[in-house]
Amino acid sequence: HTDYVTSLSLSPDGTKLASASWDKTIRCWDACSGEPIEQPLQHDFLFAVTFSPSGEFVASGGYDRKVSIWRVPWWVEGRKQARHLRPPAGRRRIESSSPPPAQAAHFTPIPIATPNQHCPDTARNLNHIRSNFAHDLTGYVVQEGEEPITSGSFGDIYRGKLRLDGKSIDVAVKAIRTYSADDGDDAQKNKKLRRELKTWAKLDHVNILPLFGTTMNFGRFPAMVCPWLENGSLTSYLERRHGTLNYVERVSLISDAAAGLQYLHSQSIIHGDLSGSNVLIDANGRAFISDFGLSTLLTKLGGSTYATSSHVQGTLRWTAPELLDFQVPEDEENPPDVFPTPQSDVYSFGSIMLQILTGKVPYHYCIRDAQVLSAILKGMIPTRPSRELVTDRQWTFMQRCWMPVGAGESRPSDDEIVEFARQELVLIEKATL
């Protein structure tokens, strides 16, 4: 586990152990060898786990007031058919939590909320299919509609269907936007882009959007194929739902973003453009970080992809000031390179945190980006929201995230932002006791 273990349960026959942790996973172990069995299951706000008396099922519960029941993978097939899980007569049904990630495909979740409840495909329970994909999915992706559904920082996003091995999966196809004529070097750039995107395809974390592969026929460069997340970007999700999101759900989004960013940095990957448009939300309200490293990558590819002389329009409100490079270069032919760092990602995280708690983008009172830029030039951070929305503890932490480079106090580390989010959940727990 990557966080505190909250519960342990030994199987009735004494051969297996199940553990629950604040890292939102349930893990099963061989009690004799200590080796893990299968891949971990997922449950937010996880507090307790236990085996059923027969050893056929594992039940998990959390502070989200949900219970999930899972059939363990080692159960003999004949016994599976002989046993059925039915809620006792006269008892109300309990809402189930999100389904497990698909790399734990041999675990069968037993939904106990509504008999006909359908759990939609999510980024995690489709993740196991990635191992069967070739990185080049050209010919397997069918575009839906002529126009893009939306536009992101660096490209246009289309909805499509990925059809492979008899399966049809809703996907998002992100095509890199180009703005100049062919410079004759596309083959080399395509090769470099594919090589860099392989790093993304190898990542595996519950808060990182999986990359299935790439496809051509969506522009001059390979387009990225990812799971389609119904709730879209964090910004649009908060605009629709912030009035109905409870405090636990908001803190959960902060925790998801913190965990995803910590994982990226642990893999030596810097996001470089973290904003409300590239934190995506699935049907279960889980946050996924996407588009990491694209700003640096596309800058390296050259001017045919993206106007590298200025920051991406629309993400300025989340951008660390040191990346804006206000100084006029002394050497016009060789301007200094300005690259993002883990610390600039932490600055952006502070702005994500503010957005989640208030439901509004940073500097929401500034209508135009020029006004935001003017505020940043003057060293002004966003205005402090009311204490009903943001506690003093939360505001102090955000201010640390926004500390200027070279100031006396450094910005928080990845471990600190994850620990802060965990402590926020602990405070919620204590308040409910």
- In whole angstroms, what is the distance from residue 208 CA to residue 302 CA? 27
Provide the total of helices (H) and of strands (E) in the chain, helices listed first.
9, 16
What phi and psi, each to the nearest 5 degrees, are found at residue 371?
A: -70, -40
Q: Identify residue 85 by its one-letter amino acid code.
A: L
- In whole angstroms, what is the distance from residue 194 CA to residue 135 CA? 9
Report which DSSP code applies to 75: S
Mapping DSSP onto H, E and C, the string for 334-357 reads CCCCCCCCHHHHHHHHHHHHHHHH
Q: Is 273 a catalytic residue?
A: yes
Is the separation of the CB atoms in 274 and 314 below 8 Å? no
- Of the candidates 2, 20, 19, 22, the residue with the CA atom closest to the CA atom of residue 10: 19
Structure tokens at 229: 């997340």
b/e 321-332 (16+ beta carbons within 10 angstroms → b): bbbeeeeeeeee
What phi and psi, each to the nearest 5 degrees, are found at residue 419?
A: -65, -40
Is the separation of the CB atoms in 37 and 74 below 8 Å? yes
b/e 405-432 (16+ beta carbons within 10 angstroms → b): eeeeeebbebebbbebbbebbeebeeee
Structure tokens at 332: 């016009």
Catalytic residue among 23, 64, 121, 273: 273
Active site positions, annotated: 273
